[in-house]
Structure 1
Amino acid sequence: MISIFKFAVVVFYLIAQMSVLAERDISVIFDKCSAQRKEPDNQYSSELPLCILTAMEILNNNGAVNKKNLEELLLLRYKNQTFVNNLIDLCAVEQPNPGETAYYVFYTCWITPYESLEDAKHMIAFLSCWYPKYKSSEKIKAAQNDIYKCFLEKINIMDKNGEVNKEAVLQIMKASENKKLTDAVIEGCVTKKENPLETANNIWKCINM
């Protein structure tokens, strides 16, 4: 028969575990971290992602990614072990410091739901083109053509010289149900402009028409 002492130890252990689980509840953590923000209006600050992921034990105190805890969280959403494993390989990438790692993991692994790994690759490529180099709306707006060019190069839509992979662009546009994308419009979208930045801007406008 279990002794009273052992029973008490087990009870205290379970209470402690329940406390940890409660702390990892995202709504509680989000509210707590939001209340502690020093820059509540800065959407490019790593402050909130770092607080949330550390509290959820997805990031260790030294900024390393706890892939096991991240896996548990992602499985709740996707319920597909293979997909989650592949997604973690793509997005659980440590950056130069804990803040940048938190921002990267928060937005590429978790906050954005994906229908496919291809979607994840595109999101990761886009984020890597502007963060952490441009950390304000003004800087992003000023550098938007550079960002578009970087992104389109990463997903092999165009090369550094502005040469367009027409087949890749056509594939994206023809998959769209946008009735504005007539054959004439699409032809204009894949036309090389005076320089790579203008070409990138033109393609971006077409894709997001």
Structure 2
Amino acid sequence: MMEGMYSLGDFPLQSGVVLSDAKLAYETHGELNSDRDNVIVYPTWASGRHADHRPLIREGAALDPTKYFIVVPDMFCNGLSTSPSNALPPHEGPRFPLVTPYDNVIAQHRLVTEHFGVTRIQLVVGFSMSGQQAFHWGALHSDIVDRICAICGSAKTSPHNWAYLAGLQAIFESAEGWDGGECETWPDGLRRALTRIGMMMALSPDLFREGEHL
């Protein structure tokens, strides 16, 4: 297992904005073979970090580091890759530009092809927002991607999902000390409130009926 930080330089985004001195954090598991084609790409989900993926990467599992070279790139905005919290002016804090799944996949493609010299990707797998990235990988880079596996992810964000995300945004913006996004600390109860709402979206009604949440 190895952690790293890949420099993308001045990175043009889909919006047309250029992100100065952009960086992509990542972690790898296993060894790249001589043909550089035993690769699995496993991007992070919304708010996730590469360390969150470790429990699913183990010998004997589907994501087996004794068989595959597994690359876990961190999404922009997760606090490790270039994010509002660490971006250079003029893009720091609430001035951070819009970043899309397309932007993330373009950056990840550069990481695996330019930095690691990968020639073939056996699988791109992702959960939730990283599942959406898996769909983008398949659409944008079918020349090197053999298969994708999107778990609880969609190729396009649904109106229902947009409404849910707008609700979370409203909670942030109404929190004490929001100050147009310039805040440095959050009220104690904010994380609990967000977790409760997130649980309603992430878990099925059947789970609640059966009492599995208790």
TM-score after normalising by structure 1: 0.22
The structure with the largest alpha-carbon Rg is 1
In proportion to residue count, which structure has more strand? 2
Which of structures 1 and 2 has the larger relative contact order (alpha carbons within 8 angstroms, sep 6+)? 2
